[in-house]
Amino acid sequence: MTSADHLERVALIDPAAIRRNVETIAGYVRPAKVMVAVKADGYGHGAVTAARAAVQGGADWIGVAHLAEAFALRDAGIEAPLLAWLHTPASDFAEAVRRGVDIGISGWELEPVAEVAERMQTPVHVHFKIDTGLGRNGCTAAEWPGLMARAAQLQERGLISVVGIFTHFAVADEPDRRETDEQLEVFRWALQAAEEAGVRPALRHAANTPAALSRPDAHFDMVRVGVGVYGQSPFADRTPAELGLQPAMELRTRVAGVKTVPAGQGISYGLTHRVDRPTALGLIPMGYGDGVPRIAVDAPVRIGGRVYRSVGRVAMDQFVVDLEDPETAVQPGDEVVLFGGDSGLSAADWGAAAQTINYEIITRIGARVPRVVLDPDADVDTDVAAAPGGTAEAGA
């Protein structure tokens, strides 16, 4: 028995897995440092849970997209160095300075950051981002020398301290593609241009999980890893186990209904599926309101010793699996695992069923699903993490 047994829907989060995954990745990349990305609520695992476990596993830095995410970590007592890299002119850079959060800069942010530094009479810690080919955030190569010249001036005046220079890869999950080599070449040029301008950061960082695991030449001073820390493989053709990683989320529920139906029975909205023989259907009480993608077809669940497949459309609260036998032994209340744990099913399997990737599956598990955080040191639950409206469910 665990404290999750009374919950009708639960995402079991294993901080020990997160800790071990960080240790494993750190082992691959040493002597490079490790920044663990806990954006988007720790890819759905809980940002604070993930950050704590990551630090225990030896993470040197924590990374997030938004300053608001960084402030929430500080509020929760996370003291590790923090970097946030995605801002708008409404972002509160002064608060970032007060909370000790480093600021990623792609261009326009530099002048408002310098103003904050002037007002607060303190150098702001920044990491400059170069767009080496992803075409998303980051300074273009054309603008980079100008940005570095300005950075050198502000550094000279004591308004900024350049902690890092970084970039982000577009296709590192496909290790054979040469665009990663091209991006690395631009990155090396950008570092050289920075140096020539007099900007010498302590931390050059580029690699995400796939590059950390497949490109030692991209490790530089630090890697920034997310998905691997949660025990998910970033590669289409490699399992987490093959990479020495262990999934940190198990998504569970219980059978809400079982019924025998005749051949021809249509299933769920749109009647996109009809059974072609008498069978039994199992009702699974999770839907897109819980982050189970509506688009998923033929998606797997494990009930007892067997894997069954979804049929018909996923609805807001529920979906249906074909139990493949009118005389099925499956009963209401039986445990259902969608992925993780000992199920042999992965978030990647759900990604394949829903035309997406494991990243999106884990990250979008909804607030209606309570997170139960396993004890970091044992297989005993300690803490039902707060999920809005999600912790007070009756027993199944």
Q: Which of 234, 240, 300, 340 binds ligand PLP (CB under 6 A)?
A: 234
For position 227 contacting ligand PLP by CB under 6 A, the verdict is: yes
Q: Which stretch binds ligand PLP (CB under 6 A): 23-31, 45-53, 227-235, 346-354?
A: 227-235
Residue 177 assigned ligand-binding role = no
Binding track over 3-42 against ligand PLP, x by CB under 6 A: ----------------------------------x-x---
Q: Which residue is nearest to ligand PLP (CB)?
A: 226
Q: Which of 45, 52, 87, 224 binds ligand PLP (CB under 6 A)?
A: 224
Is 33 marked active-site? no
**Residue count (the chain):** 396
DSSP state of 255: -
Helix ranges (DSSP H) in the chain: 15-29, 39-43, 47-56, 67-75, 93-99, 110-120, 144-156, 179-197, 209-214, 347-353, 358-363
Q: How far is the CB of 345 from ligand PLP (least distance, A)?
A: 21
Q: What distance in Å separates the CA atoms of residue 20 and residue 341, rounded to the nearest whole number? A: 15
Q: How far is the CB of 208 from ligand PLP (least distance, A)?
A: 4
Q: What distance in Å separates the CA atoms of residue 126 and residue 56, rounded to the nearest whole number? A: 25
Q: What distance in Å separates the CA atoms of residue 300 and residue 290, rounded to the nearest whole number? A: 16
Of the two residues 3 and 356, which places its CB atom closer to ligand PLP in the complex? 356
For position 155 contacting ligand PLP by CB under 6 A, the verdict is: no
The active-site residue out of 39, 129, 230, 308 is 39
Output helix, strand, coil percentages for the chain, rounded to the nearest 5: 30, 25, 45
Taken in order 85, 90, 94, 100, the sign of the CA dihedral is negative
For position 226 contacting ligand PLP by CB under 6 A, the verdict is: yes
Amino acid code (one letter) for 143 = E
Q: How far is the CB of 199 from ligand PLP (least distance, A)?
A: 20
DSSP assignment of 31-82 = TSEEEEE-HHHHHTT-HHHHHHHHHHTT-SEEEESSHHHHHHHHHTT--S-E
Q: What distance in Å separates the CA atoms of residue 70 and residue 183, rounded to the nearest whole number? A: 28
Q: Which stretch binds ligand PLP (CB under 6 A): 146-154, 221-229, 252-260, 297-305?
A: 221-229
Cα–chain center distance at 289: 19
Is 259 marked active-site? no
Residue 324 φ/ψ, nearest 5 degrees = 65, 15
The active-site residue out of 33, 43, 129, 269 is 269
Q: What distance in Å separates the CA atoms of residue 340 and residue 252, rounded to the nearest whole number? A: 9
Q: How far is the CB of 234 from ligand PLP (least distance, A)?
A: 5
For position 57 contacting ligand PLP by CB under 6 A, the verdict is: no
Q: Which of residues 59-88 bind ligand PLP (CB under 6 A)?
A: 85
Residue 98 assigned ligand-binding role = no
By CB atoms closer than 10 A (0-12, 13-18, 19+), residue 92 is middle
Q: Which of 132, 180, 209, 328 binds ligand PLP (CB under 6 A)?
A: 209
For position 222 contacting ligand PLP by CB under 6 A, the verdict is: no
Q: Which of 20, 52, 87, 168 binds ligand PLP (CB under 6 A)?
A: 168
Applying CB under 6 A, which residues contact ligand PLP?
37, 39, 85, 168, 208-209, 224-228, 234
Enumerate the active-site residues: 39, 269
Q: Would you list which residues are annotated within the binding site for substrate?
A: 136, 316
